Amino acid sequence: MREAPASPHLEDGAAAISIEIDGQTFHLHPGVSSGAPEVEASTGGRFQLHPWSFDSHLRALGVHAWLDGAGMTFDAEGFASDVLRGSGVPESLFTELTPLALWWALGGARETSLGTLPEGWVQAGDVRARLRPWTFSERARVVEESLTLEPDGTRELHLERYLRAMLAVSVVEIVPAVPLDTLDGASTTALLEAVVAINTGDERNEDQTLRTPGAQARVLAEVTLKLCRALGWTPSQVWATPAAEVDRLLSLLRLTEAPAPAPAPKRRTPRLSDFPDAVVIQVEDD
C-alpha cells in the first residue's frame, strides 16, 4: 500500500479533508464529539473511525499474518476488515475502504515527531521507548513458549503470543510510563517496527554468503569462528574489522598455535622379521 501523507488532526468545526491512497481519494470529516474522523463512503454515508488499540493490533496480526516456507505472509484485506468491523462499517464497503483502514490502523493521521533522542531510544507515536535486543536464550524461550501443537502433530508459531513476549523483553522503559496495552495502533505499529528491527539486525552481505553453500561460505565460516573463539568477538565484530587487521590476527594465531601432535603409530601384528635374533626350531615328521 502506498501510504498517504500524514494529515492534520481534524477538530470539531474543521473543514473536511481529502487524502489519496493507492490512487483512491477518501474524504474525512471531523468527528462530532470524540474527535475521531468520519469517512465518507461512495454511498454518501459517513462512518466514524474508532481508535485502533494495542490489543486489537496484535490480535489482528495473530490472525492475519503467519509464517510459512516462503517467509511471512500478511493478509492485508483480512486485517483491514477487522479494523472496519471495529468501526461498525458494513461489510459491503470493506473492499472500498480497505486502503483507508490500513492507513488508519498504522497511524496515518498521526504527525511524526522529528526530535533527536538519546541512543537506544525511539519515538513510537505518543511515547518514547528505550529498547534493547533480546538474547539468544530469551528468544529461544519465547519461541518455545509460542509454539502450539496442531491436531496433525505439527507445531505452529502463535504470532500474537510471540510478539507480546518480544515487546515485554525488549522494551526497557516507556516515557510517559504507561502499560503497553494502553497504546494506540499508531504507537503500537511504530514500537513493533523498532523492536523487530533491533532484534533482527541489519542484513549483511556476509549473512547472504553463509546461506549459500559453497567454498566461499565455508572459508568465511572457518575464519569467523576462529577469530570469535580466540578473541571472544561476535561475528559482526569480525566482519567489521579492516581486512588488513584480520590478516594480522590470523598470522599471529598461526604463530602462537601449538602444532598438531604427530599421529600415533598404527598397531600391527608382530612379524618374524621384527625379531632378527630369534631362533627358529623346525620340527619335521619322519
Question: What cell does 68 get?
Answer: 510459512
pLDDT digits (tens, 9 = 90+) for 64-110: 998 776 678 999 999 999 999 999 999 999 999 999 999 998 877 66
Phi, psi at residue 52, to the nearest 5°? -105, 120
pLDDT digits (tens, 9 = 90+) for 110-131: 666 667 888 899 999 889 999 9
Could you report how far apart the first and last alpha carbons of the chain are, in Å?
A: 108
* pLDDT in the model for residue 33: 59
pLDDT at 278 over 90: no
* pLDDT in the model for residue 5: 44
Give the alpha-carbon dihedral of 222, 228, 234, 235, to 10 degrees: -20
pLDDT at 9 over 60: no
* pLDDT in the model for residue 74: 92
For residue 126, how far is the Cα from the chain centroid?
23
* pLDDT in the model for residue 241: 92
Q: Kind and range of the H or E element at 46?
A: strand 46-48
pTM listed for this prediction: 0.72
For residue 224, how far is the Cα from the chain centroid?
24
Over residues 242-253, mean pLDDT:
92
